[in-house]
Amino acid sequence: MKKIALNTLAFGMSLALAGTAFASEFTNMDPVTLRLAHVVNEQDGFQIAAVKFQDLVAKRTEGAVSIEIYPNASLGDERTLLEGMQIGTVDMGVITNGPVANFVEEMAVFELPFLFPSPQAAYKVLDGPIGQELLDKLSEVNLKGLAYAERGFRNLTNSERPINTPEDLEGLRIRVMENPVYVDTFRELGANAIPMAWTEALTAMQQGTIDGQENPVNVINSFKLNETQDYMTLSRHTYAPAIFVMGMPAWNKLPDAAQDVLAKAAQEAAEYERKVNAEMESGQLAELREAGMQINDTPDMEAFQAAVAPIYEKYGEKFGDYLPRIQEALK
């Protein structure tokens, strides 16, 4: 009995020492506050991811690293945020993949239409070697990619008419992200693709200077786009990741232990946000229907896929070997 008691005491002491060692990694660290920005509102998945990340980081660094969240484009649009991260005026953000691809072109491979058949297929690629390689490439432009959250599968809305085939898009002024793959995709579909920042798009829809836009259900719902957009088509034409990204100036100031916490917390927060998005979508669609939005659940997907075939011809080799590697990984 004495031997068991001694062993138990030794085990307890080792746990206490391990806890002390973990805490000591941050005990002597000067407190750091990081400003995390995004461009959407507090009801959006980006905010959900940011708050989860904030909580994880605070707990795991014993408060040595704290995260301040700036939603609603209060520090600028996504391109402005990324440029701020590069020079150190913004620390980090949750940023839609499309604008990130303007800094590392290969990231736009994920924007190819109808590339991923399901969220699970996307996660397999993003969380695997291909996704990590592309995150690592951001260091070439003074950014640090931490993890992939999600914007989600994107869908069409407009204020003019129901959309069932690409022909129905003819002549409509559709806002797209400031990314050439999106612009070319919607031009192939027959729309007048207008690239602009999201903050500008909201005003343009209210003023009627554009007819529609494309975004996941969570964005359409959280921004109450039913107030300016009467029709939605569940085209699910593109799966859009979002990236927990940090500026290298802020990243390089952190000790290794803090960097490790941030990387792991970003991945956990990203996976949490994906789960919440999936759980919320059916309710969001019901809310939009109840608000009077006409939703087409069954557009002619074959017609849409056929219409964007030239995008693969144009961009197939532009992203190096990433497209064939993704296609192989999805088999």
The pLDDT value given to residue 24: 67
Structural domains in the chain (count): 1
Residue 18 lies in a domain: no
Residue 4 lies in a domain: no
Model confidence pLDDT, tens digit, residues 24-41: 689 889 999 999 999 999
Range(s) of the domain holding residue 319: 30-329
Residues forming a β-bridge with 245: 93, 145
Report whether 36 contacts 50 (CB < 8 A).
Answer: yes
The pTM (predicted TM-score) of the whole model is 0.84
How far is the C-alpha of 138 from the C-alpha of 246, rounded, in Å?
Answer: 10
The pLDDT value given to residue 81: 98
Q: CB count, 10 Å around CB of 289?
A: 13
Lowest mean pLDDT among 59-68, 210-219, 309-318: 309-318
Report whether 141 contacts 258 (CB < 8 A).
Answer: no
Residue 10 lies in a domain: no
Residue 223 lies in a domain: yes
Local confidence band at 217 (pLDDT 50, 70, 90 cut-offs): very high
Question: Half-sphere exposure (CA, 13 Å, Cβ side) for 156?
Answer: 31
- Could you tell me the CATH number of the domain that includes residue 75? 3.40.190.170
Residue 111 lies in a domain: yes
